[in-house]
Structure 1
Amino acid sequence: MKRALVVIDVQNEYVTGGLQIGYPDPALSLANIGAAMDAATREGIPVVVVQHVAPAGAPLFGRDGHGFALHEVVASRPRDHLVEKTLPSSFAGTDFGDWLERQGIDTLTIVGYMTQTCDESTARAAVHRGYSVEMLSDATGTIPMSNRVGTLSAAEVHHAILVVMQSFFAAVSTTAEWIEAARTKSSLGRPDFAAATDAGQL
């Protein structure tokens, strides 16, 4: 197993900007993101930082705005590669996939924001490309959602996506569990779709 830690969109927009994370508490997720980055550096796991960008003047993630900048938790720590993206998946229109292939990576550990958009899109795209995926439940987060279909709290969105991820796309764990797995170079296991669907029938 050769992991890479993928730190997605940990930008000011989600902390002090127009899309402030509602669940888990961003103080918790930011602390865990920092801890995961520190552990990755300690264990020789490459760190890829992904940064969402919109044109200058855009209301969210505009290249010339404060919201676009990486949060200090990430900006202050070392990284091995930086990816700028314009779509939810970190693979779409970027050199991310080529970089992973050159490094011989086979397992992606996803942290950052938001659970149901860029995290989930990257996880699904990774699985379709043959990667194993891990997602850290307390180092990710999201906002409440409401549209013509219905309304969900941030906690409901977050938990629902993690259940779906664990059913097929990613091994979901806490940051502490992942740090121990990284230290011992052990796997978090693989999702079991049959078991998940059987349990859902109970």
Structure 2
Amino acid sequence: MSRAALVVVDVQESFRRRPVWAYASNPEIVGQVGRLVDAARERGDLVVWVLHAEPGTGGVFDPASGHVRLIEGLSAAPGEPTLVKTSHNAFTTTNLQQVLTTAGVREITVCGIRTEQCVETTARIGCDLGYQVTFVTDATVTFPTPHRDLPATATLEEILADPRTLSVEEMTARTEYAFATVRTVAEVTGAVPAGARG
């Protein structure tokens, strides 16, 4: 039984089908997540894959679209669960807690898409449930985020031009301040000692 797990949240093709993907904070996320997955497997940690679905919506998160699947370059190994959620966090609408409890997991490392939304809410719920949570910011993706007063009909160009729009750097920084244990891919994989960032 493993005491630790890597939870990969929403690293799925759906996001790459949106025009805003051109402005993603970390378009090379597959490589970063792949390093975390390889390290977790080498340690014998559980790897849990989570996908987001919005059935019946006709959009890129509708399973009927064919895009609710891992981005090319990532795949679950035999015995690694793939859970499908319909809420922002990975716990509420899946049996993730049962999977972790059955495996004896007490520590989780989270990564994925979006930094401040699905990944952060998964980390927060995990903390509330008593898990020791590590948040790997450089293995997450976020996007420019519009101000709440911008109309829902605003185009991507209008969102990017609005001075109130939060940049991907601002979104990432705000999320990092919310967690006690933020690590880089290099720290988690052992490529550099924890806390030895340049």
The TM-score bracket by the shorter chain reads 0.7 to 0.9
Q: Secondary structure at the match of 1:67?
A: coil
- Aligned residue in 1 for 2:61: 61
Maintained 8 Å contact 1:57/1:65: no
**Partner secondary structure for residue 136 of structure 1:** strand
Q: Give the AA of the match of 2:178.
A: V
- Give the aligned partner of residue 159 of structure 1: 173
Q: Aligned to 1:10, what secondary structure does the other structure show?
A: coil
TM normalised by structure 2 equals 0.82
Contact 1:9 1:52 in 2 (8 A): yes
Q: Percent identity?
A: 31
What secondary structure sits across from 1:75 in the alignment? coil
Q: Distance in 2 between matches of 1:52 and 1:79?
A: 20
- Is residue 15–residue 21 contact of structure 2 (8 Å, CA) maintained in 1? yes
> Which letter does structure 1 place at the counterpart of 2:27?
P
For 1:42-61, list aligned pairs within 5 A: 42-61=42-61
Equivalent residue, structure 2, for 1:130: 130
More helix by share: 1
1:178 corresponds, among 185, 188, 191, to 188
What residue number does 1:15 align with?
16
Find the residue that maps to 2:172 and give its secondary structure: helix
Any conservation in 2 of the 1:57–1:64 contact (CA below 8 Å)? Answer: no
Is 1:106–2:120 an aligned residue pair? no
Contact kept in structure 2, 1:21 and 1:141, CA below 8 Å: no
Tell whether the 8 Å contact from 1:137 to 1:162 is kept in structure 2 after alignment: yes
Q: After the TM superposition, which of the residue ranges 145-154 and 82-91 deviates more from structure 2?
A: 145-154
Query: Residue deviations 1:43-78, cap 9 Å, x none?
Result: 111100001011145223110114322112222655
In structure 1, what is the Cα distance between the partners aligned to 2:139 and 2:37? 11
- Equivalences, count: 180
Letter matched to residue 178 of structure 1: V
Q: What corresponds to 1:193 in structure 2?
A: none
- Unaligned residue ranges in structure 2 (runs of 5+): 150-163
In 2, Cα distance between equivalents of 1:43 and 1:37: 10
Distance 1:120 1:35 in 2: 20
Query: TM-score, normalized by length of structure 1?
Result: 0.80
Structure 1 pair 104/35, CA: closer, same or farther in 2 (3 Å)?
same
Show structure 1 runs of 5+ residues with no match.
190-202
Q: Tell me if the contact between 2:76 and 2:82 (Cα under 8 Å) persists in the aligned partners.
A: no
CA distance in 1, matches of 2:70, 2:85: 13
